[in-house]
Amino acid sequence: MQTYISSLEELKSYLNTRYGVENQSPTTYISSAAHLTKQNTLPFPESLLTEDETGGVVGFPLRIPYYYADLIDWKNPRDPLRLIAMPQKAEENIQPYELTDPIGDHEKEAVPGLIHRYPDRCLLLLTSHCKIHCRFCFRREVVGKVRPVNFAAIKEYLLAHPEIREVIFSGGDPGTFPAAFLDNIRRQLSGVMHIERWRFHTRVPAVDPQSITAQWLSVVEKFIGKKIIVIHTDHPNELTKEVASLVAQLLQKNILVLSQSVLLKGVNADVETLKNFFTQLVAVGIKPYYLHHLDQAHGTSHFRISIVEGKNIFTSLRGNLSSVCMPEYVLDLPGGYGKVPIMWLEQISPQQYKARTFEGKEVLYTDQGVTSF
């Protein structure tokens, strides 16, 4: 059974079921012509969708798990989870500076499916499938499309590189692997003895926690070494009792649970939301790990804030929150140079920053975000 909504037609049918008959004639209670807005004249359930949402964005299709759709208040056009999940016309405004591969995965792809950027760790991208299509995704050009993977070459590469101590499963989303597939990978990689840590970067626990099966978890447990699950989550409304219950299971299995989030205009880019969010993460047992400045991916400028604004938000948080609740605020440099802490960037002009990479190289970064205060 399909567990997600993947077209506007399916979404309308979902809205019909959820909001019921009472809302099917939104003009019933309008008492004067002055109150008759365009929104009110639309038939239900179109009346719950904005013009921007029904505009027919091409390229990166709609995908929302039913569980996640249930968390959205569809009567609120600015609901933060709705902004994360619903395609908007603004995505068609591709800016000249935006990139198809904004963090330079391609430059660092050692063999198909393996990204080797930092000496002691590598990424395995074994799927391009995700439960949700996040509208700000930096891999939106590859998510949902066929991606070449050469597993024999990956294994050979790992065996030949004893300096790699940590393998990071990313995506797509490794939380979507069937347990048998994950177990097969585990068995094949079990001969690579120098791997000490296995990290799973997944959004599934936050967007469809009940789809993480006991079998999937038991395979994760079987990996030899330290297991780490980094949950991609972006807003306190994602931290439901189902998420808390899953995290409790992970902690019981001695799995380290961290979070990564993206700073997004209209969704979480304000001190109060983030303060609440990071505090709640710790309360359910998740250590905030990374807060990412938004990558310069195609069609994402409506989510972008400036580095100056991001730094101001982060500085206010520092003054308000225990370090236990603070993630590291980072920027993935375009060109494959890796992450740098934002607070280390040196501003050399209103939009230009100098960054020093982990290899000691100096790189210029042009900020394209807009400060809203």
Which one, 47 or 208, has the nearer CB to ligand SF4?
Answer: 208
Establish whether 137 is a catalytic residue. Answer: yes
Establish whether 186 is a catalytic residue. Answer: no
Report in angstroms how near the CB of residue 233 gets to ligand SF4 at its nearest: 11
For 70-88, b/e burial (b = at least 16 CB within 10 A) is ebbebeebebbbbbbbbbb
Task: Please name every residue paired with 77 in a beta bridge, in sequence order, or none if there are none.
Answer: none
Nearest to 131 by CA among 20, 206, 72: 206
Query: Which residue among 82, 117, 139, 227 contacts ligand SF4 (CB under 6 A)?
Result: 139
Q: From residue 341 to residue 360, what is the string marking binding to ligand SF4 with x (rule CB under 6 A)?
A: --------------------
Catalytic member of 82, 105, 134, 234: 134
Is 5 in contact with 63 (CB distance < 8 Å)? yes
Is 286 in contact with 259 (CB distance < 8 Å)? yes
Tokens coding 263: 């700073």
Classify burial at 225, counting beta carbons within 10 Å of its beta carbon; exposed 0-12, middle 13-18, buried 19 or more. middle
Tokens coding 208: 């469809």
What angle is formed at CA 81 by the lines to CA 330 and CA 92, rounded to 5 degrees?
A: 75
Residue with tokens 């006991």: 214
Q: In terms of DSSP bridges, do strands 338-341 and 328-333 run parallel, antiparallel, or are they unpaired?
A: antiparallel
> Taking contact as CB under 6 A, which single stretch among the options 132-140, 241-249, 292-300, 324-332 is the one that binds ligand SF4?
132-140
Query: Which residue among 49, 62, 86, 134 contacts ligand SF4 (CB under 6 A)?
Result: 134
The answer to whether residue 132 forms part of the interface with ligand SF4 (CB under 6 A) is: yes
Instruction: Report the C-alpha gap between 242 and 233 in whole angstroms.
Output: 14
Task: Please name every residue paired with 258 in a beta bridge, in sequence order, or none if there are none.
Answer: 230, 287
Q: From residue 186 to residue 225, what is the string marking binding to ligand SF4 with x (rule CB under 6 A)?
A: -----------------x----------------------
Query: Which residue among 48, 62, 130, 243 contacts ligand SF4 (CB under 6 A)?
Result: 130
Establish whether 122 is a catalytic residue. Answer: no
Report in angstroms how near the CB of residue 24 gets to ligand SF4 at its nearest: 33
Establish whether 332 is a catalytic residue. Answer: yes
Q: Which residue type does 171 have?
A: G
Nearest to 85 by CA among 249, 200, 207, 216: 207
> Taking contact as CB under 6 A, which single stretch among the options 8-16, 28-36, 168-176, 309-317 is the one that binds ligand SF4?
168-176
Tokens coding 118: 């930092």
| # binding residues, ligand SF4 (CB under 6 A) | 12
Tokens coding 47: 């009346």
Residue numbers 222-281 binding ligand SF4 by CB under 6 A: 232
Establish whether 121 is a catalytic residue. Answer: yes
Establish whether 325 is a catalytic residue. Answer: no
DSSP secondary structure string for all residues of 196-251: -EEEEEESHHHH-GGGS-HHHHHHHHHSSSEEEEEEE---GGG--HHHHHHHHHHH
Which one, 82 or 203, has the nearer CB to ligand SF4?
Answer: 203
Query: Which residue among 26, 80, 102, 171 contacts ligand SF4 (CB under 6 A)?
Result: 171
Which one, 289 or 353, has the nearer CB to ligand SF4?
Answer: 289
Report in angstroms how near the CB of residue 119 gets to ligand SF4 at its nearest: 24
The answer to whether residue 64 forms part of the interface with ligand SF4 (CB under 6 A) is: no
Which one, 80 or 171, has the nearer CB to ligand SF4?
Answer: 171
Establish whether 52 is a catalytic residue. Answer: no
Instruction: Report the C-alpha gap between 303 and 326 in whole angstroms.
Output: 22
Is 275 in contact with 118 (CB distance < 8 Å)? no
Establish whether 130 is a catalytic residue. Answer: yes
Report in angstroms how near the CB of residue 323 gets to ligand SF4 at its nearest: 26
Report in angstroms how near the CB of residue 203 gets to ligand SF4 at its nearest: 4
Catalytic member of 12, 63, 131, 139: 139
Residues near ligand SF4 (CB under 6 A): 130, 132-134, 137, 139, 143, 171-173, 203, 232
Catalytic sites, residue numbers = 117-118, 121, 130, 134, 137, 139, 295, 332, 339
